[in-house]
Chains A and B, each alone.
Chain A
Amino acid sequence: VRGQIGDNPSITREPTLDGFWSQDLLPMQRSLTALRQDVNGRTFNAYVLRRFAAFPLRTGRLEIGAPAVEVGAGGSIFDLLTGPNKPLRRDGVKVGVEVLALPAQPTRGAKVHTGTLTLSASLDAAQAKVGDAITLRVTAKGQGNLRSLTLDNPRIAGLDVLAPEIDDKLTHELDQIGGERVFRWLLLPRAAGSYSVPTFSVDVFDAATRQFSTVRTSPLALTVTGAAGEAAPSEATPAPQELAAPQFGPVRLDSALRRASPLLSQRSFYWPSVLAAPLLLLGLLGLRVSGRELAKRRAADGDQVALREVDEQLTAAARASAGGDAQGVLRLLGSALKKTLELRLGEPIGGLTSSALEKHLLARGMDPKTAARVIAQLGALERARFDPLAQGALELNRAIEGVRALVRELGRFRAGPALDASGQRRAS
């Protein structure tokens, strides 16, 4: 199909293949891919819908019938008003094939195969006893219509030969049909002796060189021991051709003869191996949660210690005030206030100037009034160290109360995310 199509084309009439054996070369389930193709200067999308190999089964004029396809015109929102467009229908063209007869084959009446072929034969045992079953396997490998290849049942006096079991393994690499066809006969010796399995031969016509060649297997030897009549004699057993076809089967000749073993899910190691995975996941989750809890507890413990230190510093400041140690009071108050700030911010503030500290406090979410009070209090403490008038008992007690009130207020402050070196908030 060539064209711009809005939907996958579907074949409404398959090409007829009377007189051919065909083999699909494309998988049944596949997605259509478009190939760009120029036709008379116009570019089309080309979609390959079918590709198959067809092997003519008789000579003369044969015809591959014209297929028909239907292509949806593609949906549109306006279909709601106008109804869907009618699908496009297109008929293909029929293809005529003149099938030539093969030239005279070298061996009259022999099986013929067109293509390439190799034959090999083997017995599963070279020695057997009367009544044993021996499998004769003939493998035909090559290219061409291997499914039409037949071999006559070998005729060996003294052996019953059952109808063959045939297995095909066909491939179509690079559109070349080939593979192998395996014939398996069951041989049942009726009497002891030495037997020779005759060769199988096939005339192979190579269409490329238009030449015949003959391929054949090597003869095989089979030795049967045991007195005649020891096992089921052939007189009691009808000839294979006369056997009624079994209602059930066919007989499976190969078996691994596996022993009964407990199911994998019933072995002792299985469920622990399965459950180990979710347990590992739960364990890791548990570790993570408990690690977080531990870190929180440690942080809380650290906060408690720091708060106690602040409290002790304020108490020590009150004692120093009663003792008249003004410098000690101012040092302790400054230290208590800075420690409280560091505790609340979770980072050191040493080295910041007053304006930088104020900016930082605002950036971390402190309300401007509190930030201004903090800066003012720190400034007042700093100035008081050099001002004898500010070192009186009354002024010192007022400073202690002021810092204590500020510490209490800072206790309610929850800092926002920390800032990185460029002043941007870090991701939490």
Chain B
Amino acid sequence: VSGRNATEVGTLMLALAIALGTALAPTSARADSLRDVFARGNAALARGDSEAAVREYEALLEAGIDDADVSFNLASAYGNLGRYGQAIRHFERALRLEPGDSGAKDGLRSARAALGERQAEAHGEAIVVDRPPLDEAIFSLFSADTLAVLLLVSVWLGTLSLIALRWLRTEALRLGVGIGSAVALGVAVFSCLGVFAKADWGRAGKRAVIVREGVAVREAPDDRARMAAELAEGESVRLLGTDGRFARVQTRTGQAGYVPRQDVGEL
């Protein structure tokens, strides 16, 4: 019986070692390969092979990478290919991750301008949306996580200062702490609004961009369904959900309908 127990313990140890080994080894290998993929994408983009660069960077996104520099390079590659809708989408992603990224801001502006020119040439007119909505513009300098930290810190600072007022006796100190708590609570209100705005609370669906020119918005998820509207490349929509190979979107005017999934890119 004791020999059998010893064998079982040995088997268990071996299984644990294998499990540990398989759990650790792929992590390191994967980390190396992600960096290799990024380097290959960079090399391809630098030598002007934007198609290859897009493939490499898209592989990184599929592997779960959500990085401002990768999004920037991918947007640049799409921009070089003339796929401005995708370029706008990825520049917007880069800005969501790094709101102060001036390179991404310039890239986004260039992509919108280039798309506007192309649409104007094709249709005689084009609408270029250059200004974000008011709430986005107000909080555009801060990332969602920065605002969340600001809210947490300011709400606690404000609360603790209000509590401290109960024990403070010196008038000057009371005045200082009182002003400080008012400022902290003001910052808390501002950052709370920012957190809500960044998280799109109170709005249906997720932010998305149309990535192909002239996408038909249909009333049902079927190619034969009646066309309700047509969307231009680069147009912002709300992605409400998916139904088979269709995505349900809401346009800026509030009209909802279905577009092919590959024609809309979530930010």
Q: Mark B48-81, 1 if CB is under 8 A from A, else 0.
A: 1100100000001000111111101101110110
Known: A264-B145, A274-B155. A243 touches B72 (CB 8 A): no
Distance of A246 from chain B, by nearest CB (Å): 5
Q: Does B139 contact A (CB under 8 A)?
A: no
Of the candidate stretches A20-28, A251-259, A289-297, A387-395, the one touching chain B is: A251-259
A351 on the B face (CB < 8 A): no
Contact partners of A160 in chain B: CB under 8 A: 47
Quick one: which of A257, A277, A278, A280 contacts B67, CB cutoff 8 A?
A: A257
Find out whether the CB atom of A246 lies under 8 angstroms from the CB atom of B159.
Answer: no
Q: B46's contact among A162, A265, A273, by CB below 8 Å, is which?
A: A162
A241 on the B face (CB < 8 A): no
CB of A399 within 8 Å of the partner chain: no
Contact A274 B47 (CB under 8 A): no
Instruction: Tell whether, in the assembled complex, residue A257 and residue B65 are in contact, meaning their CB atoms are under 8 Å apart.
Output: yes
Evaluate contact between A251 and B64: CB separation under 8 angstroms. no
Contact check: which of A232, A257, A259, A273 meets B47 at CB < 8 Å? A232
| Complex contact A263–B47 (CB within 8 A) | no
Q: Are B66 and A277 in contact (CB under 8 A)?
A: no
A-chain residues with CB within 8 Å of residue B195 when the two chains form the complex: 265
From B11-19, B107-115, B226-234, give the one contacting chain A.
Answer: B107-115
Kindly specify which of B146-154, B168-176, B208-216, B242-250 makes contact with the partner chain: B146-154
Q: Judge if B207 is at the interface, Cβ distance under 8 Å.
A: no
Q: In the complex, which residues of chain B have a beta carbon less than 8 angstroms from the beta carbon of A266?
A: 199
* Contact string against B for A residues 114-158, beta-carbon threshold 8 Å, 1 for contact and 0 otherwise: 000000000000000001110000000000000000000000000
**B70 with A263: CB separation less than 8 A:** no
Contacts of B45 in A (CB 8 A): 246, 249, 251
Whether A410 is near chain B, meaning CB under 8 Å from some CB there, is no
- CA separation between A277 and B160, bound complex, in Å? 8
B69 closest partner in A (C-beta): A255
Interface string of A29-65 (1 = CB under 8 A from B): 0000000000000000000000000000000000000
Q: Which of A252, A260, A264, A278 contacts B155 (CB 8 A)?
A: A278
Size category of the A interface is 35 or more
Main secondary structure of the interface of A (DSSP, over half): loop
Whether the Cβ atoms of B64 and A247 lie closer than 8 Å is no
Q: How far is the CB of B2 from chain A (nearest CB, A)?
A: 47
Residues of chain B with a CB closer than 8 A to A249's CB:
45, 73, 76, 80
B229 CB → nearest A CB, Å: 30
Contacts of A112 in B (CB 8 A): none
* Chain B CB within 8 A of A281 CB: yes
Which listed residue, A188, A248, A265, touches B76 by the CB 8 Å rule?
A248
The distance from the CB of A289 to the nearest CB of chain B, in whole angstroms, is 13
Asked whether B42 is an interface residue with its Cβ less than 8 Å from the other chain, the reply is yes
Within the complex, the shortest CB–CB distance from B167 to chain A, in Å, comes to 12
Which residues does chain B contribute within 8 Å of A278, judged by CB atoms? 155, 159
Give, as a whole number of angstroms, the nearest-CB distance from A370 to chain B. Answer: 38
The one of B42, B65, B76, B111 in contact with A258, judged by C-beta atoms closer than 8 angstroms, is B65
Q: Min CB distance, A268 to chain B, in Å?
A: 13
Inter-subunit contact A264/B149 (CB<8 Å): yes
> Which B residues are in CB contact (< 8 Å) with A171?
none
Given A256-B67, A257-B60, A265-B144, CB of A133 within 8 Å of CB of B42: yes
Chain A residues near B43 (CB, 8 Å)? Answer: 131-133, 186, 188
Stretch at the interface among B33-41, B117-125, B129-137: B33-41
**Is A237 engaged at the interface, CB distance under 8 Å to the other chain?**
yes
Q: How far is the CA of A248 from the CA of B73 in the complex (A)?
A: 9
Bound CA span A244–B47, Å = 9
How far apart sit A160 and B40, CA to CA, in the bound complex (Å)?
14
Option from B35, B40, B44, B144 in Cβ contact (under 8 Å) with A263: B144
A257: B residues at CB distance < 8 A:
34-35, 38, 60, 65, 67, 70
B67 touches A263 (CB 8 A): no
- Chain B positions near chain A (C-beta within 8 angstroms): 34-36, 38-40, 42-49, 52, 60, 64-70, 72-73, 75-77, 79-80, 87, 97, 107, 110-111, 114, 144-145, 147-149, 151-152, 155-156, 158-160, 162-163, 195, 198-199
Would you list the 7 A-B pairs with minimal beta carbon distance, nearest first?
Answer: A133-B43, A260-B66, A248-B79, A248-B76, A255-B69, A264-B148, A277-B159
Interface CB pairs A-B, < 8 A, 27: A132-B36, A132-B39, A162-B47, A188-B47, A232-B52, A237-B49, A240-B47, A247-B79, A251-B42, A251-B76, A252-B69, A255-B38, A255-B70, A257-B70, A259-B66, A263-B144, A264-B144, A264-B145, A264-B149, A265-B147, A265-B198, A273-B152, A277-B156, A277-B158, A277-B159, A280-B163, A281-B162
Besides A133-B43, A160-B47, A263-B198, 9 other CB < 8 A contacts? Answer: A162-B46, A162-B47, A232-B52, A238-B48, A249-B80, A251-B46, A255-B67, A270-B148, A277-B159
